[in-house]
Amino acid sequence: MKAYVFPGQGAQYPGMGKDLYENSIEAKVLFDKANEILGFNITDIMFNGTVDDLKQTKVTQPAIFLHSVLLAKTVNDFVPDMVAGHSLGEFSALVANKTLTFEDGLKLVFKRAMAMQKACKIAPSTMAAIVGLDDKTVEEVCASVNEVVVPANYNCPGQLVISGSETGIEKACILLTEKGAKRALKLVVGGAFHSPFMEPAREELAAAIEATNFSKPACPVYQNVNAKPVSDPKEIKENLIAQLTAPVKWTQIVKNMITDGALSFTEIGPGKVLQGLIKKIDKSAETSGIENFAG
């Protein structure tokens, strides 16, 4: 069975998608449509902008979504048996398996980006990558800190990202280092994604998701919130709304996909982050990536 996976925030780079725009008529039409929908020239920022230009959440999220979704549309024989996406990538996965239209997916991603950006300004919060400890130890330390600190991304065994208040993350990093973490590194991010700090954004996005039509998917999506295959549009909506304040269970998703028969994983979109994580979750997994127009 073929599994297709889609990257999240952090995979962006200057020049992304330019070859798609220049070589695929369908991609060019949809890129131009995206500029209209968003109300600004995102293609100009993607193709000619700097690293800093692409770091703005309102640019990053739609840029990665566009690159992933339009690449998938140009892949010959694109018939996924199962799909998944890391955080933002779940929206790309939902267009790839026909739950969402391209237009609706883009509108929701932009709404999500703007809502998250706004939520980040309400209270100082951040994230940190913890390397070299088991999940249980990290969870216990987070729970012991007298501040909001929670697991945010279960990326692979021995790599967990935590999210919370700035002082909470500082305290947790000290405690986790004492517990033997190889690294407890604060990340340069706008705020505490996948934590209670995103509640205002979750409420805002929930209204937009509820108002959007979700169709019966062509194949199951393994969702971030529960790591399980879901095909019911109503359940997909509920899980997508919960995603903003809940952790990304990427390790569990990959393990479940393999258990359910995934023989190969193809990452579609910028970078190779997910391929690396999948190999760390299961060394025997067959991985590949598509990040340029193949023709």
What are the tens digits of pLDDT across the range 198-235?
A: 999 999 999 999 999 999 999 999 999 999 999 999 99
Helix axes 250-259, 273-281, angle to 10 degrees: 70
Number of domains observed in the structure of the chain: 2
Please check whether residue 191 lies inside any domain of the structure: no
**Contact in structure between 255 and 282 (CB atoms under 8 Å):** yes
Specify the amino acid at residue 25.
I
Please check whether residue 64 lies inside any domain of the structure: yes
For 290, the 3-state DSSP assignment is strand
pTM (predicted TM-score): 0.96
Same domain for 115 and 231, yes or no, is yes
In this predicted structure, what is the pLDDT of residue 282? 97
Report the alpha-carbon distance of residue 176 to residue 145 in Å, rounded. Answer: 11
Same domain for 52 and 113, yes or no, is yes
The mean per-residue pLDDT over the stretch 37-41 comes to 96
Report the alpha-carbon distance of residue 32 to residue 204 in Å, rounded. Answer: 27
Report the alpha-carbon distance of residue 116 to residue 205 in Å, rounded. Answer: 9
Same domain for 103 and 19, yes or no, is yes
The mean per-residue pLDDT over the stretch 147-159 comes to 97
Same domain for 115 and 142, yes or no, is no
Same domain for 39 and 161, yes or no, is no
> What percentage of residues in the chain have a pLDDT greater than 90?
92
Same domain for 154 and 79, yes or no, is no
Please check whether residue 164 lies inside any domain of the structure: yes
292 has a pLDDT exceeding 80: yes
For 128, the 3-state DSSP assignment is strand
**Contact in structure between 233 and 239 (CB atoms under 8 Å):** no
* Domain hosting residue 131, numbered range: 125-186
Same domain for 15 and 143, yes or no, is no
Same domain for 167 and 263, yes or no, is no
295 has a pLDDT exceeding 70: no
Same domain for 61 and 148, yes or no, is no
CATH number at residue 14: 3.40.366.10
Is 77 exposed, middle or buried, given 0-12, 13-18 or 19+ CB atoms closer than 10 A?
Answer: exposed
Confidence of residue 188 (pLDDT cuts 50, 70, 90): confident
**Contact in structure between 46 and 71 (CB atoms under 8 Å):** no
Which residue in 116, 123, 70 sits closest to 290, CA to CA? 70
Catalytic residues: 87, 194
Please check whether residue 285 lies inside any domain of the structure: yes
Please check whether residue 295 lies inside any domain of the structure: no
Q: What token pair was written down for 150?
A: 């929670």
**Contact in structure between 247 and 232 (CB atoms under 8 Å):** no
189 has a pLDDT exceeding 90: no
DSSP state of 154: E
CATH number at residue 175: 3.30.70.250
169 has a pLDDT exceeding 80: yes
Same domain for 207 and 282, yes or no, is yes
19 has a pLDDT exceeding 80: yes
Q: What token pair was written down for 42?
A: 């995102």
